[in-house]
Structures are given as structure tokens and as C-alpha cells.
Structure 1
Amino acid sequence: MSRLALLLFLTGCAAQRPFSAPRWYGQSTAGGWPETASAGARSVEVDFEAVTPQRAEALRRGGVHLPRGSERLADPRAHRDFVDLRVSAVGFGLTEGGYLLYCEGLPLPVLVPESQVDLGVTSAEPLGAFIYPDRDSALADLEARGTEAGQAGYAWYRGAGGALIVPTLFSPATTPRIARTMLEVREHLAQTTQRELKVLLLTLTGAKVLQGVFSRVLRVGVEPEPRPQPRREGVGGRARASQTPAPQAAPPAPEPVPAPAAPAPVPGVPAPSPGLVQALSGGNPTPRVAPGPRLSQDVAARPKVPQVLPSDRPISSSPTQNAQMQADIRYLRNLGARNIRVNQQQLIVRDGQRVGTNRPDLQFDYNGRRYHVEYDTPSSGRGPDHQSRITSNDPDAETILLIVP
């Protein structure tokens, strides 16, 4: 009888559910994991984040020693908050001067200024897998540590109010999906602008008629009917103040002309030159020319950059040309152009050095390139000679020839 009782006791113990093994956050019941996991348990996705060296040092001083995690596990590209994984659409912010990223889970688009984009960088080295709390701290550490000569560097940080992990530089090397879409957006915009400008130019005759009619069309295009402006949130998480639309000068046209960040013109003031708008949209109407031999006076020019002169100085005796140039300067400043000079000797990008004694009517930096603008009359014919000399002094520069009576 005692043996039978012992047998029943052992049988009951064998039927008992064994003690559950400890469950770790992120443990899955998929194939390859221990079969001791409870049946029907759901898998949990885990994102690993490496703390910055400053944060790790602060914890170490407080007596907390973090384990050394795998660089692969802490790769920000594999994080679910990585912007390249969250983005669903990319737009070019014509009135904002940058790109708009529409991301899953965010109610507002995220603005990426053009200064944070370089679509020509195909190889770059990250500072590390750690994620900084904001852009300023990431840039400060990036500058302090430096990068190898000839190698672009970047760092990761939390942007859009901490909702996204973004690099300090958007490029094919850091965000390939977004960069590819940015290129497609710009190409489509350039083709559309060039096509619509060609139609308008071919349907108008005479220089004076062209100037007046085109100015009126541009006013209509940049002044839509007043409507509530949605708040746009920048990458750093700060909301951009909405702008009140300017009053309309004419009824809206059915086919407005797209223009990047063109300010609303005032009645009686010329609109930005259509050739300038087209060139900065990616389709310069002035064909490029091959550089030729430089003039002796340009070769002998001192590299030292002269002091910038007032931008309201005239370029000719024509009031029309001077007024048009001032309208273009207002447009360029609204667009974010830098190093604007009027009727001064030719410089290279970022005012690096003087390369000629010639004086382009207007020159400026935009999107990493140096632009030179020449204003000529329909009968002058001096534009090609000006372009040839500018190109010979700086083959990387872009020249825009404009005809203004």
C-alpha cells in the first residue's frame, strides 16, 4: 500500500507544469529558441541604443559600468526610429527652402534644410553607433573628434522632438532611400519648370511684352488664395512659424509657374527673372561652355578677396536692369543665397579667392556652387563673351545670361 501511494505521488509530480525559465525582454518562441518557452508567447522587437561617450563616462563616475554591446546590435540603421525606415514620402519645400519628409507615425512633415543635404556624398564614416540627444551636441563632438582627410563624417542624433534617429548629413551614404527620392523630386521639378517656362517664352513676342506679361504671370503663381497654413516642424523639433499669405494682385491663374521660394512681389516691383528661377531649380537655360585660355590680367589678379560693396549699386545706366537685379537679389536672399556681390571682381565659391579682374553684374553662392549673372539688352551680344571669361576663370561656376531691356 505504501508503494502504491509513493507511485501516485511521483506520477502527480511528473504531471505538474515545470518551473518556467526566466524570460528575457525580446525572447522569441520562433525556431532556434529553447523549447522551454511557453507555447503561444508573442515575440517582442528590441532596439539597442549605444549611449554617447559623455553619458557612459558620467555613468561610470556614478558607479554604473555598462556592458560592451555589439556594434552591429546597436547600429542606428537597424533601429525602428531610423528616419530612412520611417519615411513614406519626400517633397521639395519650394517656400521653405528644403525637403519635407513624411514619416509614419508623425502627424506633420519634417523639414530638412538644404544645408543638411549633400546628394554627392556616396561614402562617409560615422562617428560611432551612439546617438546624441540633439543636433548641436552631435556636431560639437563631430568637430572635436574630426575625420580622416578626404573622408566625410557624420553622427547620429534624435530629431523631430526625439521621434526620429537622423544623421547630421543626409546623403546617399547615410540615408540611401531618402537621398534617391530627393534626386527624383529635384529632377521632376526641374523638368516641370523647364517645360512650363518654355511654353510661356514661346507664346510671347517682344522683349518689353515678355517682361510685363511674365511678371504678371509670376505674381499670380506665387500668390494663391489665402488658406490656413499648416505648422511645419523642423528636424530639431522646433515648430516653424506659419507665414501669412500676401494679398492677391490678380485672380489666380489655372497653370501657375513653380518657383523655388519666390517672395510675393509688390505691385510695381519686377518679379524674379524667370531664367534665374529656372537655373536654381536645376535647369539652367544658359548652355555651359568649355573653359578657354585665361586673360593675362585675370592670371595676375591678387587672390586676396576685396571688401564687399553695397548691393544697391547700379550695374548699368538702364533703370530697368537695375530694378530687375534688385528684385533678383531679394529673391536670392529669401532663398538663402550667400556671399552676394554686385558689380565686383570675380570670386570663387565661399569667397575663397579672387580669380579675375572682370566684374560680373551679380554673383552669389547657392547650394554649394558659385553663380554669376549677366544682364544684357537684346542687341548687346556681349553675354557669350562674359560667360566665356567667367568659365575660364572658374570652370566649376555656373553662369546665367539674362536679357533685360
Structure 2
Amino acid sequence: MPSGDDPCTKATFMKFNISAVISLTLLASLSPAFAQVGDPGESLRPAKLMVLEEAADFVERRFFGRIAARSTVDLSFRAGGQIEELPIRQGQFVEAGTLLGRLDRGPFERAVNEAQVQLNQAERQLARLSKLGAGVVALAEIENAQSTRDVAQVAYEDALDSLNYATMQAPFDALISQRLADQYATVAAGEPVVRAHDMSEIQVHIQVPEILFRQFGGQLEFQASAQMVVDGPLYPLEYRELTAEAAEAGQTYRVAFAFGEDQPENLLPGASATVQVTVQRPGSDSVVTLPASALRYAPDGRPQVLVYRPDDADPDRGTLASRSVTIEPAGGTRFYMLDGPEPGVTIVASGAAMLADGTRVGRFTGLSNDNGPTPEASQ
């Protein structure tokens, strides 16, 4: 063994003492997370805690959406004939009352003239027989003349209507998306000629899976916003309607939203959008959710949480007690607690599977004493 007068031995001893002092100083400066288990009479395990709180029972999803007009109609002539005028262009915006197309009016005008002649003849015949009176002609003959006159009047009015039906006008401020027939084509009454979109309100349609309605019920409460490009701004949407019949392909329901005053420019029907939807269970104000890390399982497979019971003398030290809970998946790594401890109870937030009923623990507050938020406040 080196003698005490050896300079090397003295230097080594001094270095060791300095290192020990530094180590002890660092340990003394650590947070209460380690100081709290320093009671020489008891060994405590640190535990991160959380307070059970109620929150709205909702689920967030993102859907592919498609821009749509308030209504889309295929306009047609109410009479058949050859298209003489079709002055509109595809992609054109038109005001209500704008001329969209006109049929060849010649046949309709001739039909009006013919009906007018027949009506005039029937009126003259009725006037002649009425002047002669029932003493000269049979009453039945006068009544027949009256019926003939009435039929001629109806025919004349129908001819006038057909003449008016030969002209097609925009029923609302519209975007003309397609011409379904060309000029000079002969069309039948009711055959689509022009497809028009009512752009007074721009909507977004999404398809919601049936499973979401099974989970939350039929009458859902929606909150939604639309995003037109990746990382673009979110535009709030207003709920409009739900098609209460599932599509044959995919078992989905169509949900319609509408843009408010704040909406993107130059939106056209059929454009795509990403819709972020928050769906809340109707009639349910709140529910308690648990992270998967707060759950442990009994030998029989029942899920449990560990309730923290603080000591009277020190609220940062306490004992754990297991409580059985009833849960269902809430999406991701969280679960709805359907039955269990009441809101406001403190439980272990993470690492519950590593702890047991009756374990003595100390509140874990982190590795620095910076007065940051407690685990309960961060939940």
C-alpha cells in the first residue's frame, strides 16, 4: 500500500473527495420527485397522477368532401320542337330571367292562330243560337254550342301556353355547367337541354360511415370546417341536412354543410375539399376518458384503475386502491369510462400496470422544481 506521504496518493484522494462532493451536491439539488422518497423510515414509489374530469363526448374525423351548389337542375322546354336559339355558354354565370334557349316559334304561332279561329267560330255559333232562343231551337242545341265554345277556349289557352313554353329562361341566378343539347336539335317536351347550378349558397357534401351512426345514434350534432389545400386556412361550415338513407355502395350517409360568409373564392361544383368534423353524442353532455396507461387488469381480465388516497399529514404521499371500471374504446389510445370512480377522484395516470393495490407512492412532479403545471392540470 502506498505511504501517506506519496504525492500521487494525495492527489488521487483529493480528486475522489472533490467528485464525491460534486455528486452529493447534484443529488441534493434534484427535484422533490426524488427528495420525496428520502424518508429513511419508508420507501415510496413515484407515481404520476391525474384527476378524473368530464369532457364532451365527441369524436373528430377527417373526410373527403366535394363542393356542391344549393341545387342542381336539368332545365328543359315544356314543349317539343327544334332549338332555334341557344345563346348560353358552358361555365357562364347568368341572372334570373336570362334567356337560355328558344324553340322555333313558327309551329306554335300557327297553332295559336288555328285555336283562335276555332274559338271565334264557336263564339259566333253560340251567339246565334242564343239570340234565336229556346222557342226556335232546342235547348240541347244551345247547350252543345256552349260546350263547344268552352272546349275551343281551353284549346286556345293551351296553344298560348305552348307558345310561351317555347322560350326557356333562368329560374334563378345560375352557373351553366353543361349544354345537354345543341342548337337546331329537335327535342321532346321535358328533355334536358341545360344543366344549371344555384350558386346562391355553396355547400360541401361528405359521406359518413354507418359505424359512426351506430356509435353515436341517428341524430348527430356536427361541427365542421373545410380546408381546400394542404396546410391552408380552415373555413367554418354550417350543418344543412342529412340524407337519412344509406348509400348502397359503402353503407354511408350523405351529410351536407354550407359555407358561411367566410368562404374561398372561385369554388366550382365538383371541386374537392378536406372536411374536419367533430361529432358529439346527442343528449350526452360529458364523459370521462382514460388513457390506456391508466389501466391495469385483474387476474380475471377485468379492467381497473388505481385510486390515490393521500395521507392526512402529507397530500403528496398516499396509498393506492384498485377500482374496477367499465370501458369502451374512444379512439386512439383512450377509453370511455362508462362506470367507475366519480369525477374529481385522483388516479394513477401512467404506469398503472406496474403498480398494485395497496402500494405506497409519492406524487411524481418531474425532474425539476420549476413550478410547472401539475399532472392533474395537464390532463
Larger Rg over CA atoms: 2
Structures share fold, TM-score greater than 0.5: no
What band does the TM-score fall into relative to the shorter chain?
Answer: under 0.3
| TM-score, structure 1 as length reference | 0.22
| TM-score, structure 2 as length reference | 0.23
By percentage of residues, which structure has more strand?
2
By percentage of residues, which structure has more helix?
1
